[in-house]
Amino acid sequence: MCGIVGYIGNRDSQLILLEGLKKLEYRGYDSAGVAVQTDEGLHIRKAKGKVCELESRLADFPLIGSAGIGHTRWATHGKPSDTNSHPHVDNEKKISVVHNGIIENHMQLKEELEQLGHHFVSETDTEVISHLIAHYYTDNLIQAVQQAAARIHGAYAIVVLSEHEPDKLIAARLASPLIIGVGEGENFIGSDIPAILEYTRNVYVLEDGEMAVLSRENIELMTLEGNFITKQMLHIDWDILMAEKNGYDHFMLKEIEEQPRAYRDTIRGRIDEESHSITLPDMMMSPELVRKIQHIHIVACGTAYHAALVGKSIIERLTRIPVEVDVASEYRYRQPIIQEHTLVIAVSQSGETADTLAAIREAKLSGARVLAITNVVGSSVAREADHRLMTWAGPEIAVASTKAYTSQLIAFYLLALYIGQSIGSMDLAARSNLLAQIKELPDQVQNMLAQLTQMDQIAQQIASYNDLYFIGRGLDYMVAMEASLKLKEISYIHSEAYPAGELKHGSLALIEDGTPVIALATQEVVLEKTISNIREVKARGAYVIAVAFEGNTELAKAADEVIYVPRTDALLAPAIAVIPMQLLAYFAALARGNDVDKPRNLAKSVTVE
């Protein structure tokens, strides 16, 4: 989940590398470094900490050259330090490598190379790659990279810059994302589009087992075996401002406030107004194929897993098809029962989540069809799936996911309705009513975002607490799980989510005088029971903040404070009720002085197991 950038051309590579690394800090930010081919040879600068630390070091000791590679790290092997930072080099310091992924057999390779006289200075798995390339290098860097890649087991995206052949960059990919940016008299490499969007909108996406050789004027694409290939060039339409803060203090707040636009974009073109039906041509799943589905498995991680739980409930209620949800890291190890007509849905914002990729590969080996719900066109999950349902949230930079999560909810609503209309489980009136309310969601969220003061005030109240609990029933419990994750990951307040009906089975023991409890209460069918649960925690001293639909006066009698949200169908409540919870987490993190966009120990895209 590290960030990689590379440049070769006629401009100052140091500046381009630094700007690219700043765009990629969401992929990791415990250390950063660059290697630049200068007139005096290959030189490296590295620094523990965020990219700004590296920038300060380069301001004092600049590297002048027009070819270079850079890296921002999220540690997997070896603690964050200058020494463990990338790029890594061989003993002669002639070959430099940046790497995203994990080399599973690095200890075996390290022992072998040490016996041959190689000396290692870091604790990383990546350093093995630079030494391995040096071991195979005679007079052909491309062949040396290919030979080294053949020995490596695991996941990698690597870029190589060598003093031996300073007029080229070599990139290779296996199970970690890498794109090639095409310029005029210059070319670029990045882990993700924002790194190079300022300079070019034309890219090649490397697939597993492919490599690229870049010079100033040329790009050669080939397999790791050396067979030349041709690929379709993609043109990226993203507005560059979408990948920047655009005047906001934090990416997270910007992305929270982008949700109405993300809702509209994900809905746009997918509702036929005349027939009141769902049309998903980009998914390429015909009604005939849908009618064969007998079981659905959903695999996801983190926030996407919480969206999947909502998706399960919605699909089952609207279609009556049984749905299982698994944490992707557990799925393949439990030997899931995959039958002939099982559909596996993989949910991933980045489309590069390693555990989710492993899960869908296991599913495909067992004969399942795979549908990807993802935010990134051309990502690994999107490419490996049989069907794709894109969420048009745009780039999400903050580590704590907001607009990607709610766009996934919208995608699940559309998918459930499409399956329902394909198999005839919903009548036209019911479908039309739900579609009408889905189309109202963007405006409802927009109106909510105009009223931030209450959430800021509540956040100030809870910021001094070390423990907080969320409760809810049904879909409210699923929202509570996401709300708890948001709060703990950026405010560092310990929080847990519990089914409200389970309080008497142990959780009540945690409640004492003043304990904050946030009760989600949008599900009318269980509202009376939820109110009873609120009274249970109140009787034990809890300070209760409820979340309810506008017009609900009963909650005000039971809770200490109520956050009112626009009224919608109970099935759509998660897409409304989660918004104030995202804001609560944001303001609580601010009140505690935390780095909102880059919470400790976390990174945006988890591309290793």
Catalytic residue at 168?
Answer: no
**Cis peptide upstream of residue 599 (ω within 30 degrees of 0):** no
Residue type, 282: D
Question: d(Cα 426, Cα 418) in Å, to the nearest integer?
Answer: 10
3-state secondary structure of 234: strand
Residues 6+ apart with CB under 8 A from 562: 545, 546, 547, 548, 552, 555, 556
| H helical segments located in 343-498 | 354-365, 380-384, 403-423, 428-449, 453-462, 475-491
Strands annotated E in 19-151: 31-38, 41-48, 67-73, 88-89, 95-103
Write down the catalytic residue from 22, 110, 598, 604: 604
- State both tokens at 14: 């140091």
The torsion angle over the Cα atoms of residues 367, 305, 254 and 354, rounded to 10 degrees, is -50
Question: d(Cα 255, Cα 264) in Å, to the nearest integer?
Answer: 14
- State both tokens at 579: 């918004």
- Which residue in 604, 592, 608 sits closest to 488, CA to CA? 592
Residue labelled with tokens 């993700």:
192
Write down the catalytic residue from 2, 168, 403, 486: 2
Distances (CA, A) of 146 to 141, 178, 190: 9, 17, 20
Catalytic residue at 439?
Answer: no
Q: Which residues are catalytic?
A: 2, 604
